[in-house]
Amino acid sequence: MWSCICHCFLLLLLCNQQAKTQQIPFDTIVSFGDSSTDTGNVYNLTHHTWPIVPPYFKGRFSNGPVWIEKIGISNIKNYAYGGATTDNDFIQGYTASDTIPVPGVRQQIEIYLNQTNITIVNSIRTLYVIRAGGNDYYFNKTISPSRVVDSILNCVKDLLKIGAKHILIMNQSPTQTMPFIQTQEQIVYYTSRTIYHNNNLSAGITKLDYNHKQVTLYLFDVYSFILKIINNHENYSLNIKDHCWNVLNGNVTILCSNPESYVYIDQYHFTARIHELIGDAVRQFLLTSSGITISSYSISIILCMQFFLIFYCHEKSYFSFSI
């Protein structure tokens, strides 16, 4: 019996080690999106004037590498621009204090097509990534989530038309946790809108997946992932009440000396530490997922628990975001 237990234990150790060293099944990432994924496109567009470096890291909207650089795939073709919307023909996006227009995701896909010979792309080993939508709401305060989701789905369809076989889509992060949120009314509004967006996105991606059996669509639930980190912030030694830098009128004020201890680097963007956690989680998701599945949690359960907490909390500093 003891020998059997020892062998089982050793087998578990070997399996665990294999999971850690398992290679992700892609050698190229082609990414489209906004500042959460931009690795320097806006920085180059603005002739190295925005974001301000330092303190921002090499044109990233963070203090270090962003999540897509932490998945474990070195060949990254990144077309994401800070300030980008899903489609400029739908809602125009801007950067650098909203003064310089940038290509939306659909326009980014067009740029990619103009620069790429699709006939020689290894679609089996290429992962396409779309992470966008937040700026649609920023530049059009009255737009409905269903229309924004439809625009994201149009982007996915554009990639399907060119023969993409693997597409990763990120849902919306919990906007209600961002430092620019100041009132309880804002928390209620942004929570409701974000969850409605994510529910619609999940339904739309599921339908696309059903109609395209030869394609693998990955929907990563970054919403729940960030809430999990915030709810367990003490385990990560993270400050969830404040942000490290303050950006106002194109100027950056440093408020802390330890950004690795914060969730948000400024009023809107994650620190490099959070990006690394997201990248690690996405990597594990890609290794274990076989297709369209929300990466971890049920959005409907999140909806019920979020509103339960909202109506029982009075001050943002004591607000616990639940999953």
Provide the pLDDT for residue 23. Answer: 83
The pTM (predicted TM-score) of the whole model is 0.86
Q: Is residue 323 part of a domain?
A: no
HSE, side-chain direction, 13 A CA sphere, residue 192:
11
Please report the beta strands in 25-181, taking only residues with DSSP state E, as ranges in sequence order: 28-33, 75-78, 93-95, 100-102, 126-131, 166-170
Q: Is residue 13 part of a domain?
A: no
φ/ψ of residue 115, rounded to 5: -100, 0
Provide the pLDDT for residue 4. Answer: 43
Q: Is residue 83 part of a domain?
A: yes
Residue 97, token pair as written in the block:
């204090």
Give the CATH number, domain containing residue 123: 3.40.50.1110
Burial 293-308 (b: 16+ CB within 10 A, else e): bbbeeebeebbeebee
Handedness of CA 53, 180, 65, 63 (dihedral sign): positive
Q: Is residue 2 part of a domain?
A: no
Q: Which domain holds residue 224?
A: 24-318
Q: Is residue 15 part of a domain?
A: no
φ/ψ of residue 141, rounded to 5: -65, -20
Provide the pLDDT for residue 294. Answer: 52
Q: Is residue 7 part of a domain?
A: no
Write the CA distances from 172 to 8, 55, 130, integer angstroms. Answer: 41, 26, 11
Q: Can you give 175-203 as a three-state secondary structure string? A: HHHCCCCCCHHHHHHHHHHHHHHHHHHHH
Provide the pLDDT for residue 6. Answer: 41
Q: Is residue 175 part of a domain?
A: yes
Cβ contacts of 58 within 8 Å, gap of 6 or more? 39, 40, 43
Give mean pLDDT in consecutive 10-residue pieces for the chain, a chain of 323 residues: 43 44 88 99 98 98 99 97 99 97 99 98 98 98 98 99 98 98 95 98 98 97 98 97 96 98 99 99 92 50 45 40 37
φ/ψ of residue 285, rounded to 5: -60, -45
Provide the pLDDT for residue 295. Answer: 52
How far apart CA 194 and CA 118 sit, in angstroms, is 35
Provide the pLDDT for residue 289. Answer: 83
Q: Is residue 165 part of a domain?
A: yes
Provide the pLDDT for residue 292. Answer: 57
Residue 182, token pair as written in the block:
């100041």
Overall domain count for the chain: 1
Our measurement of the distance from residue 107's CA atom to the centroid of its chain's CA atoms, rounded to an integer in Å, reads 19
How far apart CA 234 and CA 146 sit, in angstroms, is 36
The C-alpha angle with vertex 146 and arms to 144 and 150, in degrees rounded to 5, equals 125
**One-letter amino acid of 292:** I
Provide the pLDDT for residue 297. Answer: 45
